[in-house]
Structure 1
Amino acid sequence: MVVGRRFGPARRTTTALLTGLLGVLAPLGAALPAWAQTAPADGYWATPPPVDESKRPADEGKPDKNYTQTKGCVQRSTLGQNIEIKNRPWGQEYLQISKAQDIVRAATPDRSAGGGIKVAVIDTGVTNHPWFQNRLESGGDYVAGTTRGQKPGLEDCDGHGTEVAGIIAAKPDNPEVGFVGVAPDATIVSFRQLSENYGPAKETAAPPASSTGGTPSSSTNPPAGSETQLPPSSGGGGSSEGDHTSPGQTNGGRQLEKEGTAGTLKTLAEILVRIADRGDIKVVNMSVDNCRTADGGITAGEQQVQAAIHYAASKDIVIVAAAGNVTDKCPQNDQPDVKRPKTIVTPPWFADDVLSVGAIEEKTGSVAPFSVHGPWVGVAAPGTKIISLDPAEGSSGLANLTFESGDKASEIQGTSFAAPYVAGLAALVRAKYPNLSAKQVVNRIKETAQHPAAPGGRDQFVGAGVIDPVAALTQILPSEVGNMAPMPSQQMAQLPPANDRSSTPVIVALAGTAGGVVALLITVFVMRTVRRTRPAETTSTRR
């Protein structure tokens, strides 16, 4: 089965000759044609072509087209059982997030965990949940104008972006609640870039359901405001092809360029340019993906995203992206040769400037089956049994379920929710080590990860391994002090040279020892003889 594009021998030879000739002419002002810029040397597409900075778009600050709401927004569930969620998520415990936060608080002047660090969330928007306090800012809206009086980017009809942002920076005001964001003092800057509840205006749109009734919600909160855990009888299935009024992370996440929805590669690139030009954002989280088969070169939209990502990275911004979820239209990269992928996922494909995050599951701690593999995977983090903020408007609690296809409940999961664990860690690292560059922050996260048992300490499943926040915040890395760890010098033993030419000293020593032993034996023999005869002599004298 062909899993990638491969050129025939004749075309490869011709391509190589022409590319070499054009490469000689390039310094003289000759521009390489598009096919020469994009064709990889081996005919496969595991590695993207070089960045074409001319493809970086200008930020227009608005949607690429007119979109209208076609489905009801996320709502507060009426299926609750008045059970509060107070336990800590397993991922939070697994990563020892509380210890990591204590380390940062002890090392920073304001005793905060991520204070002063702004994290951009490019997603479906972020609801102004009370547990963000005043640490939520408007970034922009590239889907539609607000409909409920919110600032641009602070309306989340899908519910996805709020849950992502909650894992990064939520700070509950109830001490009994175990859940907390990784960097609970960081500031979230929200950019609404896509939505599956909006579609192009030219399409026939169904009347949207009201915010208080209609389709099911991704929230598990009952109307009274208390939270609901997963009911014991819930099956947990679900499908991302349901009514799309919930986060839908069971099987796909939020996909760019999806027919009938809002969100394109072009607007993603524009937002990255906007973030880079702002100058105050230190970390970006993108839990959005474009997935396609690896049957051709880079597309125009991918070139725009690649150029924008490179531009943002050059502005000292840590860029984190979800590795992507397996679906029918996004098959797993399970081919024998990892360098010949069947599937390309953007933005993770651009691994030189992006730290992409795969997901691990609770039961085994191994890579989750829905996490897309690839040579571009950077690290991994928990991505199943997610607990985060309830994204429904007006809610003040937590959610741990998503409802798809009516009342069918399933757990929240996906690489979308593994990525914010890493973005939150990046915020903590930047708070504790303000002098580190973005590349050094990424390097620190990778080098301190729990490396897999694979050549070079990395593989296509979890990259450099599952993140270790405590290690990332405490280890001393030789690469950060400008030199490698010193090699221990060989210590020579100060002994006299061995005498291998003459055996006389040994013979003399052995002879002396033997003589001493003989003398000792004679002495012992004489003493025993004297002691034996002496009593007999005394007895005979007395008689």
Structure 2
Amino acid sequence: MRARGSRVRSARPVQRATALLMTATIGALGPGLLPLPAAAQPTVAPEDGGFYASPPPVDMGYLPGDTGQPDQNYTQKVGCVERDLENNIQLNQAPWGQLYLRLDEVHRLMRGTTKGVGIKPNGQPVRVAVIDTGVTASHPFFEGRVKSGGDYVKDTGQPGLEDCDGHGTEVAGIIAADTPEDQMKFTGVAPDAEIISIRQSSQNYAPDDSATPSQGAGGDAGGQSGGDAGDAGGDAGDAGGAGGASGPGRPGGTGAAQDGGGRTQGDEGSAGTLDTLAQAVVRATAMGVDVINVSINNCRSADGGITEGEKRLQAAVHNAVENNVVVVAAAGNLSEKCEQNDQPDANAPKTIVTPPWFAEDVLSVAAIDKTGGVADFSLNGPWVSVAAPGTEIISLDPAEGSSGLANLTIENGESQPIKGTSFAAPYVAGLAALVRAKFPELNAREVMNRITSTAQHPAAPGGRDNFVGYGVIDPMAALTATVPEEEGLPPDSAVALPSDMPPAADRNWTPVIVALAGSGGALTALLVTLFVVHTIRRNRPAEPR
């Protein structure tokens, strides 16, 4: 038994040494074997080819001048959107996004407090610049409230007041369409606002290398129906006809490309660049608009430093906000060119989107679906400000001569529901118009803060995440809530609550100790007494019998 016990005692030091060796080995190799938490992962500096979540400081020396002209000759390559008379379905339903945001209640509130839904107290309408593919100004539900702002695609007699692609009209409709209540359930967020249309891009136009400046971009939509580009590309049906699917169109037609990668700058074979986008922002600012909606963006890999075009756009949006203009932009859609920012370190995005990247000066808008969750195509990023409905969109039919609504678009020759962060952004731009009408004393940054402060914050630190930003917008709260910053009150601070059970209540153990000591003493005295008695009895001499 002693030998066995001796072996056990001698083995314990060996076990301890083995355990210490294993601990040291894991500590040395662990960082290479296990993924680091996001906070511990290194971020590559811009000068080394990486990027931080925030762009470099604004350099106002890059603020561009405004030419007011296309940067080159563009020619129409496919036909413009057109009505589908064979499937002329009349829509008489409100889109789910309109119901989700309780816009009917919001409009009743606004009509009771102002002269109109989107009208300032001085009787002037809020002016929203839509920098997009143009707007079909003749649509009756605009009621003549679409004004020309400029054209960087085609020099026409009505700059910005035609929409070959169909995208800008649907964006503008979400902002400011006013439909008859007895005929249509759809309505814009700010149906009394004024739209300033600036056509800055088009996927139905392409650079015309063969044309001379005097020739312009032949085959324009305002020219011949079925000639030149019309015959070559064909008409593409419509962007939903009067609410139904588009017709077959002619072979080669593409229709309004509102899905897939969304509207991006610099795509080969399309019109529009970062430079003309920056000029359009400068132009809208100079026109004194109240809100700018940009549902077009530039998406690229985060490798390398900020580009010259991005510097100009950054200066343009900063100039807009400093001149009291609220800038709203789509957060971007996933595509082959636009990869999702799903890397472990949120502060080292692998995809950069502008203008949303300039988050200090832009309200960038992610898209949600009917479930209230983030839409599967919505691009994540540390610059996302808020979110709004972006699926199953209903808006104005952009085709010339139409007086109806659209809920479908053409993609690769097939009709599908309209969706994209492009259509989430105008919900926020419309809300910004309402806030500017209700609170004319607020400047642009205060309007932005009211919208983010009253959004439905996600359950994340600081009430913000990279999916929906500060949450889905809440128009009723944005128009009625008390915002602490506006009242000079400190914002609510986070309070750390204990996550475990509280400690046991303190007790005075003195009486227990005294009682136990007394009992112990009595027991000891009893044991001593018994021992003495027992001992005396054993040592007592036996009595003679």
Q: Identify whether the pair has TM-score above 0.5, normalized to the shorter chain.
A: yes
Alpha-carbon deviation of 1:269? 0.8
Per the alignment, residue 284 of structure 1 pairs with: 292
Aligned partners of 1:326 and 1:372 also within 8 Å: yes
Alpha-carbon distance between aligned partners in 2 of 1:318 and 1:5, rounded to the nearest angstrom: 35
Alpha-carbon distance between aligned partners in 1 of 2:491 and 2:317, rounded to the nearest angstrom: 33
Alpha-carbon distance between aligned partners in 1 of 2:316 and 2:376, rounded to the nearest angstrom: 31
After superposition, what is the alpha-carbon deviation per residue over 1:155-207, rounded to whole angstroms, capped at 9, x for unaligned?
A: 11100000000000000135231000000000000000000111111069996
After superposition, what is the alpha-carbon deviation per residue over 1:22-58, rounded to whole angstroms, capped at 9, x for unaligned?
A: xxxxxxxxxxxxxxxx749x95232100001101111
Counterparts of 1:11-90 in structure 2, within 5 Å, are: 39=47, 43-80=50-87, 82-90=88-96
Given candidates 197, 203, 206, the residue that maps to 1:196 is 203
Determine if the alignment matches structure 1 residue 300 to structure 2 residue 308. yes
Alpha-carbon distance between aligned partners in 2 of 1:266 and 1:91, rounded to the nearest angstrom: 33
Alpha-carbon distance between aligned partners in 1 of 2:42 and 2:152, rounded to the nearest angstrom: 34
Aligned partners of 1:384 and 1:413 also within 8 Å: yes
Per the alignment, residue 344 of structure 2 pairs with: 336
Alpha-carbon deviation of 1:130? 1.1
Alpha-carbon deviation of 1:112? 3.8
483 and 397 in structure 1: CA distance in 2 versus 1, 3 angstrom threshold: same
Alpha-carbon distance between aligned partners in 1 of 2:346 and 2:155, rounded to the nearest angstrom: 43
Given candidates 248, 263, 267, the residue that maps to 1:258 is 267
Per the alignment, residue 217 of structure 1 pairs with: 237
Secondary structure in structure 2 of the residue aligned to 1:369: coil
Counterparts of 1:114-125 in structure 2, within 5 Å, are: 114=119, 116-125=125-134
Alpha-carbon distance between aligned partners in 1 of 2:69 and 2:360, rounded to the nearest angstrom: 28
Aligned partners of 2:203 and 2:257 also within 8 Å: no
Counterparts of 1:359-508 in structure 2, within 5 Å, are: 359-362=367-370, 364-406=371-413, 408-484=414-490
Per the alignment, residue 132 of structure 1 pairs with: 142
* Stretch deviating more after TM superposition (82-91 or 421-430): 82-91
Aligned partners of 2:50 and 2:304 also within 8 Å: no
Aligned partners of 2:43 and 2:52 also within 8 Å: no
Alpha-carbon deviation of 1:100? 1.2
321 and 50 in structure 1: CA distance in 2 versus 1, 3 angstrom threshold: same
Per the alignment, residue 103 of structure 1 pairs with: 109
Aligned partners of 1:105 and 1:113 also within 8 Å: no
After superposition, what is the alpha-carbon deviation per residue over 1:363-413, rounded to whole angstroms, capped at 9, x for unaligned?
A: x2100010000000000000000000000111111000002233x210000
Aligned partners of 1:230 and 1:411 also within 8 Å: no
What amino acid sits opposite 2:71 in the alignment? D
140 and 207 in structure 1: CA distance in 2 versus 1, 3 angstrom threshold: closer
Determine if the alignment matches structure 1 residue 246 to structure 2 residue 255. yes
Alpha-carbon deviation of 1:459? 0.4
| TM norm structure 2 | 0.75
* Stretch deviating more after TM superposition (337-346 or 351-360): 337-346
Given candidates 292, 298, 313, the residue that maps to 2:321 is 313
Alpha-carbon distance between aligned partners in 2 of 1:106 and 1:477, rounded to the nearest angstrom: 21
What amino acid sits opposite 2:331 in the alignment? A
* Stretch deviating more after TM superposition (425-434 or 267-276): 267-276
After superposition, what is the alpha-carbon deviation per residue over 1:423-465, rounded to whole angstroms, capped at 9, x for unaligned?
A: 0000000000000111111101001101111111110000000
Per the alignment, residue 358 of structure 2 pairs with: 350
Secondary structure in structure 2 of the residue aligned to 1:165: helix
Aligned partners of 1:140 and 1:153 also within 8 Å: yes
Secondary structure in structure 2 of the residue aligned to 1:156: coil
| Superposition CA RMSD, Å | 2.7
Secondary structure in structure 2 of the residue aligned to 1:385: coil
Alpha-carbon distance between aligned partners in 2 of 1:244 and 1:325, rounded to the nearest angstrom: 23
Alpha-carbon distance between aligned partners in 2 of 1:96 and 1:267, rounded to the nearest angstrom: 36
Determine if the alignment matches structure 1 residue 184 to structure 2 residue 194. no
What amino acid sits opposite 2:235 in the alignment? T
282 and 243 in structure 1: CA distance in 2 versus 1, 3 angstrom threshold: farther
Q: What are structure 2's unaligned runs of at least 5 residues?
A: 1-34, 212-216, 494-507, 509-545
Alpha-carbon distance between aligned partners in 1 of 2:43 and 2:146, rounded to the nearest angstrom: 48
Secondary structure in structure 2 of the residue aligned to 1:285: strand
Alpha-carbon distance between aligned partners in 1 of 2:340 and 2:253, rounded to the nearest angstrom: 23
Alpha-carbon deviation of 1:94? 0.2
Alpha-carbon distance between aligned partners in 2 of 1:486 and 1:410, rounded to the nearest angstrom: 45
339 and 243 in structure 1: CA distance in 2 versus 1, 3 angstrom threshold: farther
Alpha-carbon distance between aligned partners in 2 of 1:376 and 1:462, rounded to the nearest angstrom: 10
What amino acid sits opposite 2:262 in the alignment? G
Determine if the alignment matches structure 1 residue 145 to structure 2 residue 155. yes
Per the alignment, residue 26 of structure 2 pairs with: none
Alpha-carbon distance between aligned partners in 2 of 1:45 and 1:410, rounded to the nearest angstrom: 37
Determine if the alignment matches structure 1 residue 323 to structure 2 residue 331. yes
Secondary structure in structure 2 of the residue aligned to 1:68: strand
Secondary structure in structure 1 of the residue aligned to 2:129: strand
What amino acid sits opposite 1:314 in the alignment? E
Aligned partners of 1:332 and 1:343 also within 8 Å: yes
299 and 203 in structure 1: CA distance in 2 versus 1, 3 angstrom threshold: farther
Aligned partners of 2:326 and 2:447 also within 8 Å: yes
What amino acid sits opposite 2:166 in the alignment? G
Alpha-carbon deviation of 1:111? 3.8
Alpha-carbon distance between aligned partners in 1 of 2:492 and 2:380, rounded to the nearest angstrom: 36
What amino acid sits opposite 1:377 in the alignment? V
Secondary structure in structure 1 of the residue aligned to 2:416: strand
Given candidates 273, 277, 293, the residue that maps to 2:282 is 273
Secondary structure in structure 2 of the residue aligned to 1:484: coil
389 and 228 in structure 1: CA distance in 2 versus 1, 3 angstrom threshold: closer
Percent sequence identity over aligned pairs: 57
After superposition, what is the alpha-carbon deviation per residue over 1:3-30, rounded to whole angstroms, capped at 9, x for unaligned?
A: 99966xxxx8xxxxxxxxxxxxxxxxxx
Alpha-carbon distance between aligned partners in 2 of 1:405 and 1:485, rounded to the nearest angstrom: 50
What amino acid sits opposite 1:471 in the alignment? A
Alpha-carbon distance between aligned partners in 2 of 1:356 and 1:243, rounded to the nearest angstrom: 34
Alpha-carbon deviation of 1:219? 2.9
347 and 243 in structure 1: CA distance in 2 versus 1, 3 angstrom threshold: farther
Q: What are structure 1's unaligned runs of at least 5 residues?
A: 13-37, 222-226, 235-241, 488-499, 501-543
Per the alignment, residue 92 of structure 1 pairs with: 98
Alpha-carbon distance between aligned partners in 2 of 1:56 and 1:390, rounded to the nearest angstrom: 36
Aligned partners of 1:403 and 1:409 also within 8 Å: yes
Secondary structure in structure 2 of the residue aligned to 1:121: strand
